[in-house]
């Protein structure tokens, strides 16, 4: 029996399928054959051709966003795309079992028609499901599946490192990364101990759970040596949760340099930063830092469970710039109680901070967070696109963005145009799996 992992690209840019690569490593460790397809590249016809080979006994997918915009808690387009793939698998003359994991499955388990819906500890649970199918045993009562007891999250130190061969790192590159370099995604920790009103991370990944520093360094060195990776995207939910761990990692990377740079693009809480920590990160190869800033209204920030110390935000942004760390600000629009004037102030904050890049996303009522969709304001795509255009088409910022991304200034308007088309015509502009 072969396990077939399906990657369904979603969003404006194609992320590296880190979770599927980790699932692949788990299956390989169990001596079960595993293969993979990128559905954005092979389509449904390619899927059928692979199933026709007759060896696939289990198809698995890891699905991300269950949230659409403020008015729609569930992204129906993502559901339809996943269910179209599932329907094609079920229609095959030798249909394999189907397993689905990821935030989609954890937060909205009843929205996907799969034989096994994994809602907790996806790596270990999926490994057990695969083992049962390979040996002909019943898998329906496995902890971690829908309607079964939740499986306790294993220490992340025991989780296998992602397999980088089924999904070659060189085939995945995003617009916001410098051209001519080889990047890939890594995780040094899972989970978050905060309870921010807008974030489902604790519901998805539990409390903060980190890899030991020596394991992190070994993985990074291996990526550099074997795959010629020279840039890493650290995708932790809360990389700076344990300051001592970060300092230890930075010391190790500084004492024995690998020749690799790294970026924190999942959003760092500014209140967890200080000058000493930023200095250590810079010396250890950190070149870009995304800050979770959300908005410029202190009252709204406090209701969200976030720090309202905007002076500290200014201080840390300035310190990062002086250390050569480029900064990106993440902002949310349409927050509970927010007015259009609040959004204008948030945009002004983004420009006043002298950020290198900024993202203005629509606040969403994800399952697992405390917001209700009725509380949110649906901001039009044209208003959001206007903020992006004003920010990135400013001559000074466009020049800086070009330097950060390693592209020509003349390419920035085209990139902004594609982003605008993505937001205003999502159905036509998005890459789909079908």
Q: Is residue 149 part of a domain?
A: no
- Residue spans of beta strands (DSSP E) within 150-285: 183-186, 189-190, 209-210, 231-234, 261-268
Per-residue pLDDT, 421? 60
> What is the C-alpha separation between 100 and 398, in angstroms, rounded?
41
pLDDT at 92: 96
Domain that holds residue 115: 2-135
Among 55-69, 84-98, 106-120, 165-179, top mean pLDDT goes to 84-98
Give the chain's domain count. Answer: 2
Evaluate whether residue 398 is within a structural domain: no
Q: Report whether 167 contacts 21 (CB < 8 A).
A: yes
Contact present, 273 and 249 (Cβ < 8 Å): no
Q: From 379, 397, 418, give the residue that closes a domain.
A: 379
Torsion of CA 49, 50, 55, 57, to 10 degrees: -110
What the block records as the tokens of 3 is 């396990």
pLDDT attached to residue 419: 61
Same domain, 272 and 177: yes
Please provide the average confidence, as pLDDT, over all residues in the chain. 87
* Pairing relationship of beta strands 261-268 and 357-362 according to DSSP bridges: unpaired
* Of the ranges 135-144, 212-221, 373-382, the best mean pLDDT one: 212-221
User: Hey, how many other C-beta atoms are within 10 angstroms of the C-beta on 91?
Assistant: 10
Q: What is the pLDDT of residue 15?
A: 81
Lowest-pLDDT range of 72-81, 153-162, 383-392, 393-402: 72-81
Q: Which two tokens stand for residue 352?
A: 């006043």
Tokens describing residue 158: 């025991």
Pairing of strands 56-62, 97-101: parallel
In a domain, 386, yes or no: no
Write out pLDDT tens, residues 144-164.
998 787 776 778 888 899 999
Q: Is residue 181 a part of any domain in this protein?
A: yes
User: Which run of H or of E encompasses 329?
Assistant: strand 326-333
- Higher pLDDT: 161 or 15? It is 161
Share of the chain above pLDDT 90, in %: 57
Same domain, 129 and 255: no
Predicted confidence at residue 150, as pLDDT, reads 75
Buried-exposed string 137-172: b where 16+ CB fall within 10 A, e elsewhere: eebeebebbbebeebebeebeebbbbbbebbebeeb
Q: What average pLDDT does range 88-99 have in this prediction?
A: 96
**Domain membership flag for residue 243:** yes
Q: What is the pLDDT of residues 46-90, one digit of tens each?
A: 999 999 999 999 999 998 765 444 443 455 666 778 888 999 999
Residue 189 φ then ψ, to 5° = -160, 160
């Amino acid at each position: 029996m072969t396990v077939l992992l399906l990657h369904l690209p979603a969003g404006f840019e194609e992320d590296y399928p880190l979770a599927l690569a980790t699932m692949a490593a788990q299956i390989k460790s169990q001596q079960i054959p595993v293969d993979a397809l990128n559905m954005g590249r092979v389509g449904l016809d390619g899927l059928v051709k692979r199933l026709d080979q007759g060896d696939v006994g289990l198809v698995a997918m890891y699905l991300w966003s269950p949230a659409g915009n403020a008015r729609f808690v569930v992204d129906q387009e993502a559901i339809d795309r996943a269910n179209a793939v599932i329907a094609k698998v079920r229609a095959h003359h030798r249909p394999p079992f189907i397993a689905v994991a990821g935030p989609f499955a954890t937060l909205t388990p009843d929205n996907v028609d799969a034989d096994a819906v994994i809602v907790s500890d996806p790596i270990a649970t999926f490994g057990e499901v695969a083992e049962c199918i390979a040996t002909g045993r019943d898998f329906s009562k496995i902890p971690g599946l829908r309607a079964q007891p939740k499986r306790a999250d294993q220490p992340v130190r025991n989780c296998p490192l992602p397999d980088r061969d089924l999904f070659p790192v060189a085939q995945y590159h995003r617009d916001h990364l410098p051209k001519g370099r080889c990047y890939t995604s890594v995780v040094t920790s899972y989970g978050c101990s905060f309870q921010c009103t807008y974030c489902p991370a604790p519901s998805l990944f539990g409390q903060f759970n980190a890899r030991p520093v020596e394991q992190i360094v070994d993985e990074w060195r291996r990526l550099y040596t074997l795959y010629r990776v020279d840039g890493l995207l650290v995708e932790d939910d809360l990389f700076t949760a344990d300051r001592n761990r970060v300092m230890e990692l930075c010391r190790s990377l500084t004492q024995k340099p690998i020749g690799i740079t790294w970026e924190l693009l999942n959003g760092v809480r500014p209140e967890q930063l200080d000058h000493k920590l930023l200095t250590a990160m810079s010396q250890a190869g950190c070149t870009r830092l995304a800050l979770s800033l959300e908005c410029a209204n202190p009252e709204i920030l406090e209701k969200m469970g976030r720090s309202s110390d905007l002076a500290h935000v200014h201080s840390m942004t300035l310190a990062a710039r002086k250390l050569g760390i480029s900064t990106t600000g993440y902002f949310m629009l349409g927050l509970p109680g927010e007015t259009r004037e609040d959004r204008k102030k948030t945009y002004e904050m983004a420009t006043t901070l002298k950020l290198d890049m900024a993202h203005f996303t629509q606040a969403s009522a994800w399952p697992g967070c405390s917001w209700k969709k009725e509380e949110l304001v649906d901001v039009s795509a044209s208003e959001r696109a206007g903020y992006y255009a004003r920010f990135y088409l400013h001559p000074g910022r466009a020049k800086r963005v070009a330097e950060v991304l390693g592209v020509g200034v003349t390419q920035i308007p085209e990139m902004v145009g594609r982003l605008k088309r993505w937001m205003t015509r999502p159905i036509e502009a998005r890459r789909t799996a079908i």
